[in-house]
Structure 1
Amino acid sequence: MMYTSIHHLQAEMQARLCDRPDLAQTFAHCFPNTLETTVRLLDDGTSFVFTGDIPAMWLRDSSAQVSPYLPLAANDAGLRRLISGLIERQARYLLIDPYANAFNAEPDGSGHSGDRPRKGAWVWERKFELDSLCYPVSLLYRYWQTTNDETIFTTAVRKMLHVVVQVMRTEQRHLEESSYTFERPDPLLPSDTLVNSGRGTPVTYTGMVWSGFRPSDDACTYGYLIPANMFAVVVLGQLTEMARAVLGDAALAESAAALRDEIEQGIQTYGVIQHPAYGQIYAYETDGFGHHLLMDDANVPSLLSIPYLGYRSADDPLYRRTRQFILSADNPYYFSGRHAAGVGSPHTPGGLIWPIALSMQGLTSTEPDERHRLLATLTATTAGTHYMHESFHPDYPTHFTRPWFAWANSLFAEFVLATQGSFAQIGLKTSG
């Protein structure tokens, strides 16, 4: 399928970046990567967007992969077909299993086969990650805001919105009301399974929503993942608006708004700690019993991504203090070397930095010099491939993981576009 606006934008950006040929070339590789390598437009009108070198579709990754294309969708029929089809498929998947994080294109049973309880044939992996409920709602809202296309609110999409609220409500009281468990016998890493017979570490009610796993697919140490709950606050506000403005569903709007307020109260009550060096900052995880995990992970939602998610502004004092902690050696997953410094993840041991985190640092920066430096770092650490990778060693960038990771490519492209101003300022001529 032709995506007219993509070709226009690529040409415009090549001209704008002519004085930075490495950046221009890397953008030219990364920006269309999702469209060129990970999209399947299916006969039923839906779209299957897989993650790259893994043939499954993550609800999180697929949403993030198409994010830089959203501003162009209003005037590009091909992109509207792709994104609306993805939203519909995400809704159908969530109705099949709202606790799964990744799905198959067909009900062929592909994926992790030994997990307990046994997963369904459509499911690749059944790790419950709160952000997997949030990303489809966010994508739906942004698509609707961009295109004003109310045909996107199909029966499946409407049901999905109800299911999202219902599951979040249940997982506010995970140990008391939820039947969800997850165990992976003989996992390669301890973080691939949940302790306590698959229930996770104990938590108490806080108003926040429990999550078994982080957006890295690693198990939470404590069940309330603060950045995922921040994302939930944002998307529940979006859901409330859609329920009122489009669906005419006052009950759904009221339920989502009340849930949003409860989660927000929980974050502010249980998710803020007094750090001896930085003052009040956000914790990464908590259990409601007084335990906190102080760190940040490269995967989004993260604490670094708070302004990107729309939870707080980049100049919010609490965020600024938290950011200072994240981008320091006090964050156990902040690494530095001869060629780079940035946030990594326990998902990739060995002090590796993630390009996703470098792009997110740039997207949330208020300093032009910092953004310029990060763009230079990202383009200089591709090991000559001109693509982003999952992670790389800050001393030896030729040592990297996952050469085909579309989410990282899309987020880098989004960062480059953000440094060049809005799409309107770029002056695109698109046709639908």
Structure 2
Amino acid sequence: MLEQFIIDTYLKKGETVEKTPRPITNHIVEYTITKQTVRTYKRVALIKIGTQLQSSQPPSKLLTYHFTLHAKRQLDEPFLTIQDWLTAGWIVQEIRLQSDGRTSKEMHYRMGPSYVKYTHQTMHDKNQQLEDQYQLILDYFHSCTFNQELQPYIQIFETFLYQIPSQLANEATLKANWSIQKRQKFLMFCIGYFQLASKETLFDFKQIGATVFDDIGGSKMFDKDREEFVEELERIFDLDSAILGLVSLGKIVPVYFSGQLCGKMSQYTYGAVHALTDDSILQDHYQSEAHYLFLVENRAVLTRMVKEPSFIEKTMSFVLCLDGQIRTAHKMLLKQLTSTKQVKKIIVWTDYDEAGLIIAQNAVKLVERIPTVIIARDYHEYSTIENYEIWLQTELQNGQHEQEQQLGGEQQWMKWIQK
């Protein structure tokens, strides 16, 4: 066994090992390495190796030398410690000889059979853990259901999901300095994020961990990777995490509006364009006396309506600018404004293009229990998003149009309210 180990591990090309070793101690033997040609036969090395092989973990001090299979080390240890390591097969001593076959040219220590066996077993266990984790991720993913509108993201995710651990470890799309364990953890994070985005309008970061790891302390599982994981999620899937419902992670997102609004820490009155931040919406709770909510896509519409302050005040209206996309902050404020029976009607007014349709669809979902109309070109209105979509698909055949092309005035806005 020891002879074969030496042959497999230490011999150079053309070298052989003499079959009968020389005893050094009761549990250490010395093998002679020779090299033979047509004309010469000489000793080239001596290898001292222990016979009391171990199957436990190597001594902690030995691990600090960071041996690899082909590494050659000098050991700064007491003689008895080195003898103990030799005896147990943790290391071997290799002495390379001069051309005379007797004088030492170089002496160093290398991994012994016990250490090599431990390394192989550790690698096997690690690979098994990665395989088990991979299967766990697959099983968890297949147990989840996702909204249809998230399918483009899920399809991208599956390109990572169905890679075996060795492939995932070399996936160039993910951060190069991430270990395979961190990459697998990121996949679990993504599943939790999309799972919550499928069923929650708003959700906190800690809900992702609590969803994935349904156990005590699960909510903290992603905490140390918080900023890095969210940054990579947004980069890889080309999305804004807040749009799908994740509560603010410190980014300051302005929410523009006009109308009466009252919170515990601030109050706003009619007559001007106001702005809240997502942080203030998160920390405060707002109420409004508004009976009518105008959800508009662009600031130009907001500023145009503010030029008619008497209309907003006398109709008790509230104009919320979605600013091109519905973010978490907009969702949170809408949830607060529509939590009472104060609001009688909601008017959704977006651009007449595909992006505007998506915004309108999402807006209608957020306020579905309240009577809602969606505004089309020439000030026509639709009471269902389905009918609006049918109209828009026909309209798009004639080219896209922006909301600002027809801003209307007080007389037209009043018709939408009174119908």
Under a length normalisation based on structure 2, what TM-score does the superposition of the two structures give?
Answer: 0.29
| Structure number having the greater strand percentage | 2
Q: Which has the higher contact order (CA 8 A, sep 6+)?
A: 1
| Structure number having the greater helix percentage | 1
Under a length normalisation based on structure 1, what TM-score does the superposition of the two structures give?
Answer: 0.29
